[in-house]
Amino acid sequence: MTTRVIRVDPVSPPARALDDAVAVLRADGLVAFPTETFYGLGAAALRAAAVRRVLEVKGRPDGKPLLVLVDSIAMTERLALTIPPRARALMARHWPGALTLVLRARPEVPAEITAGTGTIGVRLSAHPVARALVTALGAPITAPSANPADHPPPTTAAGVVTYFADALPLVLDGGATPGGAPSTVLDVTVEPPRVIRAGAVDVSLVD
């Protein structure tokens, strides 16, 4: 397979490029795209076969959940059993942004996403391309960094292709991303919330 790379405006990605990416996602294929930190590896998050492909390509160990991107709180409500008031306050303050909130998952969320934890990590990305892709699909997409396990996450489309030249149908090239710390992951199924991974959002500001 030869990876197709489509250059897109990082602020206003064209509809045609998004339509091409959505076609790949609906066929259980994978699409890499820029986020506010690194390039992410996207699959339609509610399609178990597609999610398994993400795990396979990354060489990700079993038992490790995958975070997903949404485009709204309304989409989050389709994934989570409940959204506690504390979580809603955090969404209002830090979304869009690099804060992943762990919530109780609805039964229809694939086990490949939850890894049997009964929870799902959800984020609304601040990057226009990532957000537009979720909206174009009309459903959540996975967003682990687009690198094999134990390799540095890429900040360019070229870096993605270097890793996955024979395994990835499409990359949306929105230019270089900033890199830096990954998203902060906060478990809001417990009180007080528990930091699972420190990251780009300063946990001292999480209240």
- Please give the mean pLDDT across all residues of the chain: 93
- Nearest 10 degrees: CA dihedral of 164, 168, 170, 173? -20
Range of the domain at 26: 4-205
Residue 147 has pLDDT above 90, yes or no: yes
In total, the chain counts a number of residues equal to: 207
CATH number, domain containing residue 89: 3.90.870.10
d(CA 114, CA 194) in angstroms, rounded, equals 18
Sequence-ordered list of residues with C-beta below 8 angstroms from that of 9, at least 6 positions apart, any chain:
174
Domain count, the chain: 1
Q: What is the pLDDT of residues 46-59, one digit of tens each?
A: 999 999 999 999 98
Q: What is the pLDDT of residues 78-93, one digit of tens each?
A: 999 999 999 999 999 9
Q: What is the pLDDT of residues 94-108, one digit of tens each?
A: 999 999 999 999 999
Range 162-190 average pLDDT: 93
What per-residue confidence (pLDDT) applies to 181? 87
Grade residue 206 by pLDDT with cuts at 50, 70 and 90: low
In the block, which residue shows the tokens 């597609």?
50
CB 16 within 8 A of CB 23: no
Helices 128-137, 15-26: axis angle to 10 degrees equals 60
More confident residue, 61 or 37: 37
Grade residue 202 by pLDDT with cuts at 50, 70 and 90: confident
Across 43-80, b (16+ Cβ under 10 Å) vs e yields bbbbbbebbebbbebbebeeeebbbbbbbebebbeebb
Closest to 66 (Cα-Cα) out of 74, 78, 58: 58
Residue 207 has pLDDT above 70, yes or no: no
Measure Cα distances from 194 to 50, 69, 206 in Å: 30, 20, 10
Strand partners, 185: 100, 197
